[in-house]
Amino acid sequence: MNLETSHTHFHTLVVLVENKPGVLTRVAGLFARRGFNIDSLAVAPTNDEKFSRITIVVDAESAPLDQIIKQLDKLINVVDIRKLDPPNSVERELMLVAVAAPSTRRSEIMDLVRIFDATVMNVGIDQMMLSISGSPTRVDDFEQLLRPYGIVEIQRTGRVALPKLRKTD
């Protein structure tokens, strides 16, 4: 797991695609056969049911970003590609994490939950399941701080992003 997702060689691409069967395979297949690396990927329908949005974090060390974008754009079902750089975009990621939490350490963990504005989703005899959504760096920080307690299972969604809104006319 890369803990510094804002590393300069990672780029976020927001790809608008036609909502047709097999489109995700086309995108993923293109990355595989051209030797481009995907760091994370999130897909969901948009407000227009004809289109879906794929947020891909790419490792531009594997290939020039420009080439990745141009090859993606050649896919017939890809309608639009936006390259988002972190300062000009809003990025969010969701993490579910089960952490070892014997009763003696629960309050410490609860402190972290409060500080990070995370949520307790489920509690077991000696484990807690937490949820956090936020910027990828915040999610990273939370994960890192939980690590000493013993992470049992973890699931991150991969980031989704949209460009920041215009501030002036």
Partner 1 sequence: MQIDGGQALIRSLELEGVEVIFGLPGGAILPVYDPIIDSPIRHILVRHEQGAGHMAEGYAHATGRPGVAMVTSGPAATNIVTPLCDAMLDSVPLVVITGQVPLSAIGTDAFQECDTTGITMAVTKHNFLVTNAQDIPQIIHEAFHIATTGRPGPVLVDIPKDIVDPRNPRSAMQWYEPNSINLPGYNPQVTPDPAGLRAAAELILASKQPVIYAGGGILKARAAEALRELAELCDIHVVTTLMARGAFPDDHRLCLGMPGMHGNYTAVTSMQESDLLIALGSRFDDRVTGKVPAFAPNAKIIHVDIDPAELGKVRRADVGIQGDCRLAIEGILAALKELGAPDAQPDRREWKSRISGWRENFPLTYEQSSSGDLLKPQFVLEMLRKNTPDDCILASGVGQHQMWASQYWRFNHPYTWINSGGLGTMGFSVPAAIGAKVGRPDRMVWAVDGDGCFQMTAQELVTATAERIPIKVAILNNAYLGMVRQWQEMFYEERYSEVYLSPDLPDYKMWAEAMGCVGMRVEDPEDVEAAIIKANEIDDRPVVIDFRTDAAEKVFPMIPPGLSNSDIVVDPTQAALLRRERGR
Interface residues with partner 1 (CB under 8 A)? 17-18, 21-22, 25-26, 29, 33, 64, 66-67, 70-71, 73-80
Q: How far is the CB of 26 from partner 1 (least distance, A)?
A: 6
Return all residues near 63 (Cβ < 8 A) that are at least 6 apart.
Answer: 34, 35, 36
CA distance linking residue 80 with residue 73, whole number of Å: 7
**Shortest spacing between CB 17 and partner 1, in angstroms:** 7
Nearer to partner 1, 67 or 122 (CB): 67
Nearer of residues 51 and 116 to partner 1, judged by Cβ: 51
Quick count: other Cβ atoms within 10 Å of Cβ 124?
A: 10
Taking the complex as a whole, the smallest distance from the CB of residue 78 to partner 1 amounts, in Å, to 5
Between 81 and 109, whose beta carbon lies closer to partner 1?
81
DSSP label at 64? -
